[in-house]
Amino acid sequence: MCKFNFIETYIKDLYVVEPKLNMDKRGYFMESYNEKEFFDAGLNMKFIQDNESFSKKGVLRGLHFQRHHSQGKLVRVTQGEVFDVAVDIRKKSPTYGRYYSIILSAKNKNQLYIPREFAHGFLVLSEYATFVYKSTDYYYKEYESGIIYNDIDLSINWPIEKIDIILSEKDKKWKSLKNIDS
């Protein structure tokens, strides 16, 4: 019995992963990752690092990527809710410069598999959010880069009308996609 529903998005290699819950009167149990099932679905990656961040409402982290040692990521939220965004920065991709967005939350338990050579970011919508992800390569500070979250050409529809954005100093300084070397 498959423990996941793998949903292809309009961007090649980017998948929404819905885990199947085993519910009873005590609560639920779910697998968040199963190597065999991911491989059977064509997601042939090897995760080597797990990461977690905790942020308050309005925090926007991203849009991050590494210039070398690019990371594939399996992302999810274990507390709260975020607006999650993945941007295709693969130069030869027919969807180069396009983004996919999704609400990830502790309630819906959905995950997003983001392949290598994508920029990634998220905006916290709830009072607090715990964001966890597996990555296919290590973090290298010397290769970190990013795209400014409000890049006019990307036109990401961030749900920010009622939220004051909180950015790190680093995230305030990123350039637009057309002004970076990828």
- Residue pair 120/86 in contact (Cβ under 8 Å)? The answer is yes
User: What is d(CA 180, CA 176) in angstroms, rounded to the nearest whole number?
Assistant: 7
Q: Which residues are the active-site residues?
A: 64, 133
Extract the tokens encoding 135: 């990555």
Q: 86: closest CA among 176, 16, 159? A: 16
DSSP 1-64: ---EEEEE-SSTT-EEEEEPPEEETTEEE--S--HHHHHHTT------EEEEEEEETTBEEEEE
User: What is d(CA 124, CA 3) in angstroms, rounded to the nearest whole number?
Assistant: 28
Please work out, in degrees rounded to the nearest 5, the angle formed at the alpha carbon of residue 176 by the alpha carbons of 113 and 127: 55
